[in-house]
């Protein structure tokens, strides 16, 4: 059996997809060494991993994309933060490699410094993408635009114009940051683009699947869709859940706070008079003075699976994890993306006919209430997505592909 060194970005939305894959590998007899979000290290040890928190300096650097409205500013802020983290990630992972002498390295696609060290190591290396990756694909709009694919000459012209005017310059600036980082932390040669850096990994596992994800005929063999891999900690159902008389509308906010109070406030106002129970999960807890109507409750944490078994709609911030979890339970989604990859997830929900996308700048109780009603009628799209996510294989399929990388190295 192999020793696998894994390195995640320090965010719960990244840790749980890794945990699902690593748990499956541990079940198959592999030894797991892990660096992850410090607050989750104990729970990861309970799963049988040799786990510690990442360097505290990594967690101290916030991923700042401003208000997420201007693509160039957003990419600049994110790339600068990733590069600042990279120095500490590189030292962190190299220390783990020197100590554990692993047979394979598994890195987070968002941990650029860890990826550079994995590449330099020459070891078998797999990357895990816990959100739709910013990798170009024929027939798809530039990443970050939040646009759906457009067919024909009109679509080609639209995408070319956006790339030339906005996204091309932004990605070139990002590549400059990326190459400076690669040289400084690992002595690696420059790459032509962010895409080329991602494809330096022999294999990147993308934790989603068609028809939610767009078709990407040009991603193989470097990028493979495996479907959702997230592990959810077990928890008993609270007593109040069994007493609910009405179906649930879940309002799920980001695991890392991104100003979700307005989404929650609007949802509570929109559904106050509806025959539903609104259950909000907010890791930060309810904001002071937030009015909570009689048919609603706010919880700091509950496993979403418990709620989705009773839910009719999920209102999300567009995070891939909770959005896919809802659709896997055949629950339609209303996605209100705040920024980052969330606009891409929301566009995919809309494209698949599995829910409704709302612009947070135009969010009102009336619009949100109407979106919830429309989403409940999208059964065909929801069922198609649920079937596609299940067929992709999830954590077992990801573990199969990782073991193939190990076997190829041994031949």
**What is the pLDDT confidence band of residue 73, given thresholds at 50, 70 and 90?**
low
Q: Which of 286-290, 369-373, 389-393 has the lowest mean pLDDT?
A: 286-290
pLDDT in tens, 103-115: 999 999 999 999 9
**What is the pLDDT confidence band of residue 66, given thresholds at 50, 70 and 90?**
very low
The per-residue pLDDT for 152 is 85
Tally of domains in the chain = 2
Interatomic CA distance for residues 339 and 357, integer angstroms: 13
Question: Does residue 405 fall inside a structural domain?
Answer: yes
Interatomic CA distance for residues 288 and 403, integer angstroms: 49
**What is the pLDDT confidence band of residue 151, given thresholds at 50, 70 and 90?**
confident
Interatomic CA distance for residues 205 and 109, integer angstroms: 9
pLDDT at 67 over 60: no
- Looking at per-residue confidence, does 74 or 311 come out higher? 311
The per-residue pLDDT for 76 is 72
Mean pLDDT, rounded, of the chain = 91
pLDDT in tens, 263-322: 999 999 999 989 999 999 987 666 667 889 999 999 988 889 999 999 999 999 999 999
Structure-token pair, residue 30: 């592999």
pTM recorded for the entire structure: 0.93
The per-residue pLDDT for 349 is 97
Question: Does residue 221 fall inside a structural domain?
Answer: yes
Mean of the pLDDT values across residues 193-216?
A: 95
Interatomic CA distance for residues 250 and 313, integer angstroms: 7
Q: Based on the domain organization, do 320 and 249 belong to the same domain? A: yes
Mean of the pLDDT values across residues 342-348?
A: 93
Enclosing domain of residue 385: 239-390
Mean of the pLDDT values across residues 228-247?
A: 92
On the question of a cis peptide bond just before residue 403, with omega within 30 degrees of 0, the verdict is no
Q: Based on the domain organization, do 85 and 220 belong to the same domain? A: yes
Question: Does residue 375 fall inside a structural domain?
Answer: yes
Interatomic CA distance for residues 133 and 73, integer angstroms: 19
**CA distances from residue 111 to 35, 87, 103, 107, 118 in whole angstroms, order as listed:** 11, 10, 20, 7, 11
Half-sphere exposure (CA, 13 Å, Cβ side) for 327? 42
Q: Based on the domain organization, do 263 and 177 belong to the same domain? A: no
Q: Based on the domain organization, do 213 and 244 belong to the same domain? A: no
Q: For the chain, what percent of residues have pLDDT higher than 90? A: 73
**CA distances from residue 302 to 100, 274, 404 in whole angstroms, order as listed:** 35, 23, 36
The per-residue pLDDT for 106 is 98
The per-residue pLDDT for 288 is 67
CATH of the domain at 138: 3.40.50.2000
**What is the pLDDT confidence band of residue 69, given thresholds at 50, 70 and 90?**
low
Interatomic CA distance for residues 108 and 54, integer angstroms: 13
Interatomic CA distance for residues 210 and 225, integer angstroms: 8
Q: Based on the domain organization, do 15 and 125 belong to the same domain? A: yes
Q: Based on the domain organization, do 88 and 212 belong to the same domain? A: yes
Helix (H, G, I), strand (E, B) or coil at 117: helix
Q: Based on the domain organization, do 76 and 183 belong to the same domain? A: yes
Question: Does residue 234 fall inside a structural domain?
Answer: no
Q: Based on the domain organization, do 142 and 243 belong to the same domain? A: no
**CA distances from residue 346 to 69, 174, 254, 331 in whole angstroms, order as listed:** 15, 24, 14, 15
Question: Does residue 89 fall inside a structural domain?
Answer: yes
**What is the pLDDT confidence band of residue 80, given thresholds at 50, 70 and 90?**
confident
Interatomic CA distance for residues 235 and 233, integer angstroms: 6
Q: Based on the domain organization, do 405 and 362 belong to the same domain? A: no
Question: Does residue 232 fall inside a structural domain?
Answer: no
Residue 331 near residue 354, CB atoms below 8 Å: no
Interatomic CA distance for residues 212 and 383, integer angstroms: 11
Q: Based on the domain organization, do 222 and 260 belong to the same domain? A: no
Q: Based on the domain organization, do 349 and 397 belong to the same domain? A: no
Q: For the chain, what percent of residues have pLDDT higher than 70? A: 94
Residue 141 near residue 135, CB atoms below 8 Å: no
Question: Does residue 233 fall inside a structural domain?
Answer: no
Residue 112 near residue 120, CB atoms below 8 Å: no
Q: Based on the domain organization, do 137 and 262 belong to the same domain? A: no
Question: Does residue 106 fall inside a structural domain?
Answer: yes
Mean of the pLDDT values across residues 221-245?
A: 93
């Amino acid at each position: 059996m192999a020793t696998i060194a894994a390195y995640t970005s320090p965010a719960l939305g990244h840790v749980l997809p890794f945990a699902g894959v690593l748990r499956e590998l541990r079940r198959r007899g592999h030894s797991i060494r892990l660096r992850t979000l410090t607050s989750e290290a104990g729970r990861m040890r309970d799963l049988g991993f040799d786990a510690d928190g990442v360097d505290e300096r990594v967690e101290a650097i916030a991923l700042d994309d401003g208000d997420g409205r201007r693509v160039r500013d957003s990419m600049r802020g994110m790339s600068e933060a990733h590069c600042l983290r990279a120095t500490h990630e590189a030292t962190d992972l190299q220390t783990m490699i020197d100590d554990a002498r692993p047979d394979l390295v598994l890195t987070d696609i968002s941990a650029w410094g860890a990826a550079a060290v994995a590449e330099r190591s020459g070891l078998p290396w797999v990357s895990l993408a816990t959100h739709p990756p910013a990798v170009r694909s024929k027939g798809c709009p530039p990443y970050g635009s939040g646009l759906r694919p457009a067919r024909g000459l009109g679509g080609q012209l639209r995408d070319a114009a956006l790339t030339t005017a906005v996204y091309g310059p932004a990605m070139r600036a990002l590549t400059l940051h990326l190459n400076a980082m690669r040289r400084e932390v690992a002595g690696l040669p420059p790459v032509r683009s962010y895409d080329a850096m991602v494809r330096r990994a022999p294999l990147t596992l993308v934790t989603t699947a068609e028809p939610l994800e767009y078709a990407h005929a040009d991603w193989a063999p470097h990028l493979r869709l495996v479907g959702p891999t997230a592990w959810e900690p077990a928890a008993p159902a609270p007593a109040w859940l069994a007493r609910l008389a009405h179906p649930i509308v879940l309002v799920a906010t980001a695991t890392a706070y991104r100003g979700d109070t307005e989404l929650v406030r609007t949802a509570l106002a929109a559904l106050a008079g509806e025959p539903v129970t609104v259950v909000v999960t907010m890791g930060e807890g309810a904001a002071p003075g937030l009015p909570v109507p009689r048919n609603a409750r706010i919880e700091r944490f509950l496993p979403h699976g418990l709620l989705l078994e009773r839910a009719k709609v999920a209102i999300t911030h567009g995070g891939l994890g909770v959005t896919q979890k809802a659709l896997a339970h055949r629950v339609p989604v209303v996605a209100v993306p705040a920024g980052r990859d969330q606009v891409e997830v929301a566009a995919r929900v809309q494209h698949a006919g599995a829910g409704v996308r709302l612009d947070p700048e135009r969010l009102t109780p009336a619009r949100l209430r109407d979106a919830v009603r429309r989403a409940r009628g999208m059964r065909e799209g929801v069922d198609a997505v649920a079937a596609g996510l299940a067929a992709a294989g999830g954590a077992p399929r990801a573990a199969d592909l990782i073991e193939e990388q190990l076997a190829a190295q041994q031949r």
